[in-house]
Structure 1
Amino acid sequence: MADITFYELPGCPFCAKVRTKLEELDLEYDSVEVPRSHAERTEVEDVSGQTGVPVIVDEAHGVDGMHESDDIVAYLEETYN
Structure 2
Amino acid sequence: MKPIIRAFFKTLRLVLGPVMLLKERLTQPKGVVREPAAQTTVNLQCQNLALYQFSTCPFCIKVRQEMRRLSLPIDKRDAQHDSAHRAELLQGSGATKVPCLKITDANGQTQWLHDSAAIVTYLRARFAAAA
Could you tell me the TM-score, scaled by structure 2's length? 0.53
Please show how residues 1-81 of structure 1 align to structure 2 within 5 Å: 2-35=47-80, 41-60=86-105, 64-81=111-128
1:41 positional shift? 2.8
Secondary structure of the structure 2 residue equivalent to 1:50: coil
Consecutive unaligned residues of structure 2, counting only runs of 5 or more, are: 1-45
Q: Is the 8 A contact 1:5 1:31 kept in 2?
A: yes
1:60 positional shift? 4.4
Higher fraction of strand: 1
1:46 positional shift? 1.7
Consecutive unaligned residues of structure 1, counting only runs of 5 or more, are: none
1:63 positional shift? 5.5
Higher fraction of helix: 2
The higher relative CO (CA closer than 8 Å, separation ≥ 6) is in 1
Which aligned segments of 4 or more residues in structure 1 are displaced greater than 6 angstroms? none
- The code of the aligned residue for 1:78 comes to A
Using the alignment, how far apart are the partners of 1:45 and 1:59 within structure 2?
Answer: 16
- The code of the aligned residue for 2:48 comes to D
Give the length in aligned residue pairs. Answer: 78
Fraction of identical pairs, as percent: 31
Could you tell me the TM-score, scaled by structure 1's length? 0.82
